[in-house]
Amino acid sequence: MKSCKIKISGRVQGVGFRPFVYRLAKSLDLTGWVLNSTGSVEILIQGSEANIRNFIDALIHDPPPLSHIENIFEEIVEESTYTDFSIIKSREDKGFNFISPDIAICDDCLRELRDPHDRRFGYPFINCTNCGPRYTIIEDLPYDREKTTMKVFKMCEVCNEEYHNPLSRRFHAQPDACSVCGPHLWIDSLNIPESNLFKEIGKLLYEGQILAIKGIGGFHIACDATNESAVERLRNNKKRRSKPFALMMKDLDMIRRYCYVNNTEEKILRGKERPIVLLRIKDYLDLSPSIAPGNLYLGVMLPYAPYHYLIFDDFDRPIVMTSGNLSEEPIIKDNVEAKDKLKNIVDNFVLHNRNIRNRIDDSVVFVEDNDLTFVRRARGYAPDPLKVSIEVDPVLALGPELKNTFAIGSGNYVFMSPHIGDLKDLETLDVFEETIEDFIHLFRINPEVLVHDLHPQYLSTEFAEKFKSFMKVVPVQHHRAHILSLLLDRDIGDPIIGFSFDGTGFGEDGNIWGGEVFVGNLRELHRAAHFKYFPMAGGDYSIENPKRIAYSYLFSNEIEDNGNYLPISPLEKDIIKSMIQNKKNIFYTSSCGRIFDMVSAILGVRSVIDYEGQAAVELEMCAMDSDTSAVYPFEIQKGSSLEIDILPMIKKILEDRQHINRSIIARQFHNTIAYIILSTAEILREKYHINKVGLSGGVFQNRLLLNILSPLLKESKFEVYTHRRIPPNDGGISLGQIALAMKGV
Ligand code: ZN
Ligand code: ZN
Ligand code: FE
């Protein structure tokens, strides 16, 4: 008879680990105990040596499906004898916490939800140890019911029995509940009996109502996606003119009516994370034309909360499911706040009384070349840690301004926050600060280093300044952070040629960067190439007006807009001219994103935008109608740093514009950007003897560009790296910022 102590760390809480250990110990005739401590599960087992061995083997090779073991530590100890095996009280301890993301309803629960003989038949909050809310309901750790927002629901006798019965699927399932004792769903201001609730929701949707529906991580705004007037009304109410809306569809059959779905996409759509997947549109059929105007992709997800399934029982059409927020603010999570802020947007509220402690948006992904790319890493994925190859001091990285996420890290783990929003107003800043506090507390990391973006005017920089007197505060340039993110994301230790192409970022020379190429590794990155600077008249205002960017470019290069292609008034022209001539209110930029904007405007695809990236997205869609392989001329001027000049291309585009279909021009433009990258990489390979190429930044969310570029780079025998675990856009920057806290630097 031996006693063995085992300590397991990783994602082992909230995933049914203790019940699993309990059943396993019982089946092997072992006695002792299991408990949750901060960040790990501790076990004491007593029994024969062979059975202890079998126990450990099973732990390693056959753990619960949602768990993820990072480390397992075992030692033989001397202990007094136990006569039984039990789950004992949780203990607070030093060390990391891992928190499980929220998991879509599992097949077993779905079966019970549908079974008229089950006591949870039709219960909107059914869950078990293998599914349900986790991160969103956790107030503190260790993960126990009293430390979740479920603490206010006292379990009924039957639930309580299940909770304590090791043979039940709900043994120690913290969010366990039933219609007798658990949370409830209702339609605000309508007095509908529970038995009729979903019929009524279906009826309201069929009637064209816009509903705010409280979800798992926050509110959705929903309406019938086939009802043009409802969708139009939602656009007007939300002041969101054309940014695509995500849809929820009943099942894969429904999705396949509208979209192409390959095997990888199907797997991801059905996965326990249930993200929104961007799918190529097959046929719009009865969908409202204003769901995703000018786009060839639809963002679609399958139901993931039990009540989503119940809604589709009484509603047989695709549903618009957009985040319940105002423009780029954080998603709303509380009933009172929703009723206040969304009252002018929606007709009715579908509320529930399970509090959301931690807000989180739906994740957004796409599949290209059988690889998953994140556009937004949130529900289902965050706050799973990212393991990195370097050791960092305890650090907080504040992230970028747009699509903000922040990250905290220590040792070789990084916890990236879910999507926060655009860090431009105090409302968002509040949520940013709140979430930082929560992360520091939940993950028990006390930052000693604070990393922020170089931009002197960002709210995050102001935030960082406050800490200067009592901790190390380090700024980092935006595009360097993109490449550092990629190096950490893909675990690249060797030197790389890193393309950091996006819309905007404050440069080290005071100019606005956005078309940068770096050479180096995690310790040292050297700016080796960039697009030639061009003046942008009018700052942020011009970003919303691609036609102004185009006109600034043409005027400063003394090119005439002979065909008058830009819808720009003589007055606007004069303003831009005088700004450039007097060097007043102009910025110099090397932004690749702005080059996309400029070409989009010259081609008349999009001259004024109402969401970030719109001009480039619509240019990409326009280019997809052509398959030309022609390339425009460009120049790469050699010097200590290469300068990429697109002037020859722009001149040719203006000529072509007069007699060539704009899809062909748009496609040829995409080809040219791909060849610019290839040529730059080839020159730098020659110079630095580096064969790895990395692509980071929002420009690399352009699937057409990726499709043209990857074969070119591969043909030229480059090893190509794109993002896998985090988005290529600014949502991934905070990971790279973490590298500034590398130990020993
Ligand atoms: Zn379940
Ligand atoms: Zn109950
Ligand atoms: Fe960026």
pLDDT of 513-549, one tens digit each? 999 999 999 999 999 999 999 999 987 788 899 999 9
Q: Is 142 exposed, middle or buried (0-12, 13-18, 19+ CB in 10 A)?
A: buried
For the CA of 173, the nearest ligand:
1
CA 181 to ligand 2 centroid distance, Å = 4
Collapsing DSSP states into helix, strand and coil, what is residue 200? helix
648-691 pLDDT, tens digit per residue, is 999 999 999 999 999 999 999 999 999 999 999 999 999 999 99
Give the ligand at the shortest distance from the Cα of 485.
Answer: 3
* Ligand at shortest distance from the CA of 478: 3
Number of H helices, E strands in the chain: 22, 28
Q: Which ligand is nearest to the CA of 16?
A: 1
Ligand 2 mean position to 122 CA, how many Å? 14
Contacts of 363 (CB under 8 A, 6+ apart): 273, 275, 276, 374, 376, 377, 378, 379, 380, 381
CB-based contacts of 77-81 (< 8 A; 24+ apart in sequence): 77/3, 77/4, 77/5, 77/44, 78/3, 79/3, 79/32, 79/44, 79/46, 81/1, 81/31, 81/46
Residue 266 pLDDT > 80:
yes
Tokens of 98: 């891992």
Quote the ligand 1 centre to 120 CA distance (angstroms).
12
Which ligand number lies closest to the CA of residue 593? 3
Strand, helix or coil for residue 31: strand
Q: How far away, in angstroms, is 156 Cα from ligand 2 center?
A: 4
Ligand nearest the Cα atom of residue 272: 1
Q: Write down the pLDDT at residue 37.
A: 87
- Cα(696) to ligand 3 centroid in Å equals 8
- Compute, in angstroms, the gap from residue 59 CA to the centroid of ligand 1: 21
Grade residue 274 by pLDDT with cuts at 50, 70 and 90: very high
Neighbours of 745 (CB within 10 A): 12
Distance from Cα 698 to the centre of ligand 3, integer Å: 6
| Three-state secondary structure call for residue 401 | coil
Nearest bound ligand to CA 162? Answer: 2
Distance from residue 729's CA to the centre of ligand 3 (Å): 6
* pLDDT average, residue stretch 309-337: 95
Pairing of strands 85-87, 31-37: parallel
Q: What pLDDT was estimated at residue 502?
A: 97
Cα(34) to centroid(ligand 1), Å: 23
Rounded to whole angstroms, the Cα distance separating 266 from 578 reads 55
Asked whether the predicted pLDDT for residue 358 surpasses 80, the reply is yes
Copy the structure tokens of residue 359: 């807000």
Q: Output the CA 697–ligand 3 centroid distance in Å.
A: 5
Average model confidence (pLDDT) for the chain?
95
Is-contact 392 379, C-beta < 8 A?
Answer: no
Q: What is the DSSP string of 249-314?
A: -SSHHHHHHHB---HHHHHHHHSTT--EEEEEBS--TTS-TTSSTT-SEEEEE---SHHHHHHHHS
| Amino acid 112: pLDDT | 98
Closest ligand (CA of 180): 2
Measured in angstroms, how far is the CA atom of residue 324 from the centroid of ligand 2?
A: 30
Find out whether 561 and 577 touch, Cβ atoms under 8 Å.
no
**How far is ligand 3, taken at its centre, from the CA of residue 603, in Å?**
25
| 161 CA distance to ligand 2 middle (Å) | 9
Residue 410: the pLDDT is 95
Ligand nearest to the CA of 177: 2
Of the ligands numbered here, which is closest to the C-alpha atom of 507? 3
CA of 9 to the centre of ligand 1 (A): 23
Report the DSSP beta bridge partners of residue 449: 395, 472
Residue 127 in contact with residue 157, Cβ under 8 Å? no
Judged by its nearest atom, the ligand closest to the C-alpha of residue 153 is 2
Distance between Cα 522 and ligand 3 center (Å): 18
Chain centroid to Cα 478, Å, comes to 18
Of 590, 440, 579, 588, give the one whose Cα is nearest residue 514: 590
Kindly give the distance from the C-alpha atom of residue 154 to the centroid of ligand 2, in angstroms, as a whole number.
Answer: 8
pLDDT band with cut points at 50, 70 and 90 for residue 26: very high
Cα-to-centroid distance, 120 and ligand 2 (Å): 9
Burial class for 203, CB neighbours closer than 10 Å (0-12, 13-18, 19+): middle
Average pLDDT over residues 176-200: 95
Q: Which two tokens stand for residue 469?
A: 């007197």
* Sheet architecture: strand order including 68-77: 68-77, 2-11, 40-47, 31-37, 85-87
- Residue 63 Cα, ligand 1 centroid: separation in angstroms? 17
Instruction: Tell me, in angstroms, the distance from the centre of ligand 3 to residue 429's CA.
Output: 19
d(CA 520, CA 119): 61
**pLDDT per position as a tens digit, 164-179:** 887 899 988 999 999 9
* Residue 141 pLDDT: 84
Centre of ligand 3 from the C-alpha of residue 735, in Å: 13
* Euclidean distance between CA atoms 5 and 2, whole angstroms: 10
pLDDT at 539: 77
User: Of the ranges 3-17, 259-273, 406-420, which one carries the lowest mean pLDDT score?
Assistant: 3-17
**Whole-number pLDDT of residue 563:** 77
Share of the chain above pLDDT 70, in %: 100
The 3-class secondary structure across 552-609, one letter per residue, is: HHHHHCCCCCCCCCCCCCHHHHHHHHHHHHCCCCEEEECCHHHHHHHHHHHCCCCCCC
Task: Tell which residue, 573, 601, 588, has the closest CA to residue 510.
Answer: 588
Ligand nearest to the CA of 729: 3
Q: How far is the CA of 68 from the centre of ligand 1 (A)?
A: 18
Instruction: Identify the nearest ligand to the CA of 161 by its number.
Output: 2
Which ligand is the nearest neighbour of the Cα of 181?
2
Using the predicted structure, report yes or no on whether residue 215 has a pLDDT greater than 90.
yes
Which ligand has the minimum distance to the alpha carbon of residue 698?
A: 3
Of the bound ligands, which one is closest to the alpha carbon of residue 129? 1
Ligand number, closest to the Cα atom of 170: 1
Contact 36, 143 (CB under 8 A): yes
Predicted local distance difference test score (pLDDT) of residue 745: 67
Ligand 3 center to residue 287 CA distance, Å? 33
What spacing in Å lies between the alpha carbon of 5 and ligand 3's midpoint? 48
Residue with tokens 């950490």, as numbered in its chain: 488
pLDDT of residue 327: 80
Tokens of 391: 């050791």
CA of 113 to the centre of ligand 1 (A): 10
Nearest to 123 by CA among 166, 167, 156: 156
Tell me, in angstroms, the distance from the centre of ligand 2 to residue 160's CA: 7
Name the percent of the chain lying above pLDDT 90: 88
| Cα–ligand 2 centroid distance for 442 (angstroms) | 28
- Which of the 8 DSSP states describes residue 538? T
Say how many Å lie between the CA of residue 59 and the centre of ligand 3.
Answer: 42
- For residues 362 and 378, what is the distance between their CA atoms, to the nearest angstrom? 6
CA–centroid distance, 424 to ligand 2, in Å, is 44
